[in-house]
Structure 1
């Protein structure tokens, strides 16, 4: 990047989304919007029981309708590869993945038991109501809290590399806690929650000559979808292409292939025609969710506020066929230097679908409990909650005894508190009032891992001097299109308007699923590497030119700015990129390469983003209603590529934190083993009227260890601290500790 006068790098600038116009004008197409010829429509029929077997399924009334093409059930599904060979998708936990229409067994309520395919969507939807299933029902167990005695250790697997188990105990927790002059302990509970992105899950399969398939799928990783399809149906990779250029929200729900993909591909191959399968909002509650979790936290401190004892255990729900795990209890050992630590994590298998990663999986769950307990311990020690955290601050991850690659959390506390006005807080609960409302101020700390995964990208400097870059990643609403355009533009010294970034296509270089807040670091590093590879080729072309000023010049001695390659020591010595590509015999300069994490460098450090969250709530003293009137999040997230899209990411996390703390809860009727509020009128999420003054601060943080760009993902750090800060503010307002999320008015009255 250049520092020449008049040349403005795009990284660090609040550039508007390059895909924004397409989205607001309707030009952007989603999985259920692609027009393909000879399209048939599939509608899924869901089971009415939670456990048992189908004894009879009658499809005759549906098949009798003119225009109904087929009804697929376990009785007539085609023989498939995955019924003979164990199959795993990229995000699969240990166990045996769910197989739609495998047999007559019902594993959970809402399980797909049939697919009706018809000439029109309306006809398929009507015909689906005519399917009659009879069951032999078995006793089901869907309540976590009544089955805690069944808790067991999770099965180990490759997933534990990204989701490590709790660290081994340190010191003697029982002794330290028993002798601690200041202590707290509490039980923290939250029910299951569902992702509910705006776009429903859908797959459109275009059946082409020779049985080739072009698949438009709602997914957070086209690579995962093509792996699924080729393995399950035993199709060569060359005969399948998966595209997902846009996604109307995922939040983790699209990390694994969902069953509409299976249904659509199966029907298209059997009928030898194009098929689209879309799920309903109710069916969005029939796969994956944030698992219900019960936690116990006990903390002890010396009289001066030094925390010396930390206990955190958690029990989460999983399905009977897979062991879905989360990192729930490890965070305390990463944030606080207690010498006596004990942690545990167990699972209870229930008759539900496997839980699924949901924004900040495990992190927002564990931090909600830990940071509320920290607030209570601070009160018991007679200390300000922020000063108490600063008293127990550490620059080490004590779980692994490693330093952080960077950690500007102290500065987050300072800047966040100053912006919020924390110093004027009266610490006494119920001391702040406005009319009939109790005012409460609370704060909490946040932490989320900063990972980088392997990825590849292609960069093409075209004959017209424009740059096209691509990678098979996804933009789940985070601004991936925009920041990748900025990285490419800056690497080769081009304006953003001269760069086109494309994604979401398995014909492009491979990239991992988009989740875990790793996409900016992962794909961004690959994009930078691919553009640098183009730059190196341009340098070779420059050296071949007659009387070239770049003869004998090394790669480290050049820079790119203002559409030119320049000498670093004398930027006036330059050749335009157009001139250089003209030297390539009328062909574009094309390079494909990858970026790998530098494990030799990274393994010596823990890499995380950090936050300090400050919240004000207003609680109606008579009604118990809670309103978050303002909040400040101070974020240490490495290098900020685009302040506008970055701020949007944090704001989105803060909004969801409000939603999680006060509203979201999937209500299970255990008599039926079914989520009953499976719609957006009864599954409450935050709406515009719930959101007031939200402020975001990005604390300057330099980190050359996390990845070549120095970036840390922001998708999850915005949510992890919010629920605890809200719960702590509610305590300050009311004097009541609510450890059962969401905090609804009945718990305060």
Structure 2
């Protein structure tokens, strides 16, 4: 009766704007007399700038100024300890701070000119001399310097490794079946289609309107306000559309700082855009080395589990990820040990990249479980079910919901897993080896506080807003659905707006948080608006709603109706008229229920089954089909949710087979810093991908019962592919990506 559009495969409400070009991105906003800035990047990895010659650049027509560390304005943050809202422990990178070079590609100058072309050419004329110092960028050559990371606010969303349980050393030594194995993956870069840009519009009163490429407009506002010591009310950040982020936009990138600095100094509007090459000069998925030890009984029961990881970080911040915790939450080994360390190197601080730590840790534990299954002569799925746990062994508490067993069963059935021939290299067609592999996925289902505003306008339309982001996940659409359902309006009568710091505060979009976090705020604010409407209805002469409580009414077809007698109804437009023809407005905050939620571990789960074809002579790999079954609570929109999972599966193929940034450690420089040589999948790489949503009810995670699906689609995919490759070839590759040279 009540539910109209939640759970339906609604097409994206922002789709038309995107395909027609009406949607505007950060570098597409403009202003009168807009100046253009181009960044000059360092060519060394460590050392000092000894001389900068800007004469030739400044002599060009149209060049307004060249900013360097020698002439930059005095800034608030250079004299204080400051962090943005997603900063790890340490001291954030300060562009143009001094003559020190901390990493290769560091911004060392900003050329500002009347046109982009003038600025770009002038930037090529800036001459810089350096005194180089020896640098260290190779994680595997410096594992002996690994140490525990510093803790900070980041650990609230990124908990440290779980406490050890039992006696791992004794249990492992005594285990009849033992496996010790290691896994490595190198650097990866986000590479969203939209380059990082900031267009800073300088107002006559010195106030700034900033169009920024960001996953959280409030974070950019906070950053600018703190760094430049400007009141919040004088900084407005707008970001209605984001051309992909994948985590790269969680922290403000250096073009924002440089654009604001130039605009304030020149008292003129300035845009700074990074090039594709410069997209490789800030955060990335960190190179990580992992080691796993498993001790088991002959029947597959795990007695001992140890998972250790070492990742790189910068010299100035301790970036951390949750890598090893997932193993302990998935499998009920009574004796377990977990360790996570970092190695500071001469490069920029790593940054969250889709399923940060999760896809890293799951790739290792799920490959290790596969290796163990072959050692035991046991079906890989059977081994996982043997060690299945109904409660979180790390925290000794129940899951808010866990339909992983159903994920295994439904995905295996859809895939046809029972037809698998268990022996490696036993399935083939001519020169093509065929392999089947599977893996598990798990990801957090967290909720943070958020605010939203709802307005029923004079013409009976609903306008809802929150300063969240939509990085391509379908946020515009699902928030419109939630609002429409809550107040019984058709989708075309609801407008959801986001990405503006003038709107109510919400967290940045990341970590699969937004559906549960902002969705809860939207639901609550629309319910509050419904309560205001009921108050108006009660006051009407001879009102049939005079004694009604909010639980006694529901909203449908633009009307408020009594549950006891749905023929008793009133149009929402009539209630607006009853308000003197004025809009009715409410603002609300959704808070986390820590008393209730804290008693449970809240995860989304998945099961992934993959088929690969490997050319026996050439070592080329094709992922010919894959099935992912997902348990993620209530699915708000199966169409956009499926797209999220498909996107994660595609990226999983990319991570397993193609994606790596290659550094020449002699120079400390990423060599394939472009989209020609940084390989990502194209249409020809992608074949049959299938998604199942397993029914799951969860009344703990948030008021909507939803779990985000942004990351659960990728976490299990690389391991499933690696396991399928072993089944096809009999060769176990412990380093991602699995390129043909490793198979030949």
Partner of 2:432: 437
Gaps of 5+ in 1: none
Match 1:382 to one of 377, 382, 404: 377
Selected match of 1:345 from 340, 356, 361: 340
- Given the alignment, which residue of 452, 456, 464 partners 2:447? 452
Matches within 5 A, 1:60-459: 60-459=55-454
| Counterpart position of 2:10 | 15
Which of 707, 732, 740 is matched with 1:745 structurally?
740
CA distance in 1, matches of 2:182, 2:366: 13
**2:496 equivalent to 1:501:** yes
After TM superposition, the structure 1 = structure 2 runs for residues 484-563 of structure 1, keeping only pairs within 5 Å, are 484-563=479-558
1:54 pairs with 2:49 = yes
1:684 and 1:605 mapped to 2: Cα distance? 40
- Alignment partner of 1:651: what SS? helix
- CA RMSD of superposed structures (Å): 0.6
State the distance in 2 between where 1:684 and 1:505 align: 34
Once residues 379 and 625 of structure 2 are traced to their aligned partners in structure 1, the CA distance between those partners, rounded to angstroms, is: 20
1:598 maps to which of 588, 593, 601: 593
CA distance in 1, matches of 2:693, 2:303: 31
Q: Give ranges in structure 2 of 5+ residues lacking alignment.
A: none
Partner deviation per Cα, 1:531-561 (whole Å, 9 max, x = no partner): 1111000000000001111111111111111
TM-superposed deviation, 1:23: 0.2
Q: How far 1:612 moved relative to its partner?
A: 0.2
TM-score between the two structures when normalised by the length of structure 2: 1.00
The residue aligned with 1:647 is 642
Instruction: Measure, in 2, the Cα distance between the counterparts of 1:680 and 1:50.
Output: 23
Deviation at 1:381, TM superposition (A): 1.4
* SS of 2:205 mapped into structure 1: helix
Shift of 1:655: 0.2
Secondary structure (helix, strand or coil) at the match of 2:109 reads strand
Deviation (angstroms), 1:353: 0.1
Spell out structure 1 runs of 4+ moving beyond 3 A.
none
How far apart are residue 161 of structure 1 and its match?
A: 1.1
2:618 counterpart (602, 619, 623): 623
Q: Residue 678 in 1 paired to residue 673 in 2?
A: yes
Q: Which stretch shifts more, 358-367 or 302-311?
A: 302-311
State the Cα distance separating 1:501 from its structure 2 match.
Answer: 0.3
Q: Deviations over 1:579-609 (max 9, x none)?
A: 1111111210100111011111100000000
State the partner residue of 1:570.
565
In structure 1, what is the equivalent of residue 472 of structure 2?
477
Distance in 1 between the 2:174 and 2:375 partners? 15
**CA distance in 2 between partners of 1:203 and 1:9 (Å):** 40
Q: CA deviation at 1:435?
A: 2.1
- For this pair of structures, how many residues does the alignment match? 744
Matches within 5 A, 1:677-696: 677-696=672-691
Normalised by the length of structure 1, the TM-score is 0.99
Structure-2 separation of matches of 1:427 and 1:175: 32
**How big is each residue's C-alpha offset from its partner over 1:604-647, in whole Å with a ceiling of 9 and x where there is no partner?**
00000000000000000000011100000000010000000000
Q: Hey, what's the Cα distance between the residues in 1 that align with 2:567 and 2:110?
A: 67
Q: Does the residue aligned with 1:44 lie in a helix, a strand or coil?
A: strand
Q: Distance between the aligned counterparts of 1:676 and 1:221, measured in 2?
A: 30
Question: For residues 177 and 414 of structure 2, what CA distance do their matches in structure 1 show?
Answer: 31
Cα shift at 1:35: 2.1
